[in-house]
Amino acid sequence: MTRFVLIAAVSGLVLVGCSADGLRAPPAKPAAVATTAPSAGWVKPPPGYLGGDGGIVATTIIGPPPAPDSPRGKAERAQFDETRKLANTEAWSRAIADADLSGKNGLKSFSCAAGVTLSAEATPTLANMLLRMTDDAAKIYQPAKAAFQRPRPPVGNTAPICVPREDWINTDGSYPSGHGLIGWAWASVIAELVPDKASPILARGKAFGDSRIVCGVHFQSDVEAGRYLGSALVTRLHDDPGFLSDLAKARAEVAASKAKGAPEGCGA
């Protein structure tokens, strides 16, 4: 007669059948880790406002990343190991959404923070501004990545990350974080348009960058360096006539959208 034994497993309690001859049922396969879509679907943003890097020399502003064997470097490696426990949690799902730089997911999350519907339909000038800023951002952070060539956290291991393990993981430098730059720059502009909600908007911008730590593709110092560059980018853009013209149009769009009421789907 088959006897059943209840045993504890890491993933919870599982029922394993034990036959008289001592054979056990094979262990259950671990749950698949959710990831973003492959990067092949990436759509290049429209041209930015600035010519080249706009005079923003990222390497001068942020300096080099922590050395791997420094106290900060070791702490960040430990943080990567610890945050792998977040796979398939709510924070992981948010990291997947925040990885999208097409504007759709970002506008949704910033809408909730701002209490205003921000979208390609409701605020088209703002939506296009943010995409143009994404192009400007790349001209700033890419030379720094190439200069420092800091390996990303998942290089040399098989730990779960929230993006597919594609070639860029090994070839694209970790420092500074482009998402950290873009999230903070987006938040800074949106906070300027909805100043009464500046605190939650900026908190969302911070979380946007922190999602890259949860995702496992950046160290914390990468994200912090990105924020410094995001502030530099927005400061520089305020001297660009095209940006200022679009900012005025976006301000009117946001006011009109705000008059229509709070955005839907933001929860309590």
Instruction: Determine the Cα angle at 214 with ends 9 and 200, to 5°.
Output: 125
Q: Which of 204, 218, 227, 236 is catalytic?
A: 218
- The tokens describing 37, both together, are 């879509």
262: left (phi over 0), alpha (psi -120 to 50) or beta: beta
| Helices and strands, number each (H, E), in the chain | 10, 2
Q: How far is CA 90 from CA 95, 96, 180, 215, in A?
A: 9, 10, 20, 12
DSSP state of 44: P
Which residues does 155 contact at the CB level (< 8 Å), separation at least 6?
169, 170
Catalytic residue check, 218: yes
Q: Exposed (0-12), middle (13-18) or buried (19+): which is 5, by Cβ within 10 Å?
A: exposed
* Per-residue H/E/C for 155-218: CCCCCCCCCCCCCHHHHCCCCCCHHHHHHHHHHHHHHHHCHHHHHHHHHHHHHHHHHHHHHCCC
Q: Which of 94, 179, 204, 236 is catalytic?
A: 179
Q: Which of 222, 227, 236, 246 is catalytic?
A: 222
Q: Which of 94, 150, 152, 212 is catalytic?
A: 212
Catalytic residue check, 238: no
Catalytic residue check, 212: yes
Catalytic annotation, residues: 179, 212, 218, 222
